[in-house]
Amino acid sequence: MDDFLIRYSNFMVEKFKPQSIAFMHVMRTYDISQDILATFPDLDEPLVDILKDEMQEKVTELFEHKNEVETAVIVGEGVTTETIVQYSQEHNITLTLMGKKIGYQGRGSVVRKVLSLSPSSVLLISESTQPKIEHIMVRMDFSKITSMAMKMALHLQELTGAKISCHHVYKLPLKYFPQHTLENERKLEEHVERHSQKEYKKFARKMNIDPLEIPCTCSIDAENEEAHILYNQALNIYADMIMIGSKIKSELADVILDSTSEKLAGTEKNIPVLVVKDRKQTLGFLEALFD
């Protein structure tokens, strides 16, 4: 997966022009006994240094912009999630690139944890992701965090020329279900869709965008499957990136990412997902939990 991430970072540097980029690997802390060390007499330098040298070789081989952007190769030691999140906090990281494996072994647990806790926005790619951004689909729910996602999409449009589309997934009010008939359901769907389009026009005015140039489609979520609906919509319109503004909430001393973002991060979904985070909100939760 490392090779794909480094090659994709070449594309990101070309398009986004960042000030700096850091390549990070986190190894668990091991207490290696002297008996085991004696078995490897050639191991005359710390394991962290050996791994860093190997990483540096790979970055030197595959990363093409070493002379154009400040580059760091880092081997952290400890718990993977905590180490990445702490580095992101301390170095004011604005975007974290991670791989979600489709064909390679891995359950994606680290990705989900970092996605929840990282104060930076997170871009997830698979090993089949092509280095291009031509059509961005924004998850639309008319909220403040969606405004942030739209601003990010507009910025990427300036950098790449990508087309932008939006999709809003709505649920029917539960109080209507006891009187459920096909006719009533159809009328209610039409009513909710008209209301959604009105809300999108208001959203577009606030964002100073043309709803004809950036259209918004709608669909009903009857079985609590918003992530599945969004992903299928992205496939249908040939989007090559799903952008979602993600809110977090605190529950029983845990920071919980909204379920749609987490499900879109699933390993079976290979369209890149950019989860836009409210850095101040996330840092506030982290300070409340860990200070």
Predicted confidence at residue 41, as pLDDT, reads: 66
For the chain, what's the residue count? Answer: 291
Mean pLDDT of 261-267: 77
Q: What is the pLDDT of residue 252?
A: 42
Its sign, for the CA torsion 283, 285, 289, 291, is positive
Task: Give the per-residue pLDDT at 45.
Answer: 67
What is the pLDDT at residue 201?
95
Asked if pLDDT for residue 220 goes beyond 60, the answer is yes
- Considering the entire predicted model, what is its pTM? 0.85
The predicted pLDDT at position 152 comes to 94
Structure confidence at residue 217 (pLDDT) = 94
Reported as a single tens digit per residue, the pLDDT across 38-88 is 676 666 667 788 889 999 999 999 999 988 999 999 998 888 888 999 999
Residues 243, 255: contact at Cβ < 8 Å?
Answer: no
In order of their start, the domains of the chain are 1-78 (no CATH), 111-290 (3.40.50.620)
> What's the pLDDT score for residue 171?
81
pLDDT band at 25 (very low <50, low <70, confident <90, very high): very high
What does the alpha-carbon distance between residue 110 and residue 241 come to, in Å, rounded to a whole number? 21
pLDDT digits (tens, 9 = 90+) for 150-206: 999 999 999 999 999 999 998 876 555 555 666 777 777 788 888 899 999 999 999
Q: Give tens-digit pLDDT for 103-155.
A: 555 556 788 888 888 889 999 998 888 899 999 999 999 999 999 999 999 99
pLDDT at 263 over 80: yes
Instruction: Give the model's pLDDT for residue 205.
Output: 96
From the number of C-beta atoms within 10 Å of its C-beta (0-12, 13-18, 19+), residue 144 rates as exposed
How many other β-carbons are positioned within 10 Å of the β-carbon of residue 147?
15
> Does 254 have pLDDT greater than 50?
no
**pLDDT over 80 (residue 90):** yes
- For residue 42, the model assigns a pLDDT of 65
CA angle 59, 53, 20 (to 5 degrees): 40
Which residues does residue 138 pair with via DSSP β-bridges, in sequence order? 166, 243
Which of the two residues, 33 and 78, has the higher pLDDT score?
Answer: 78
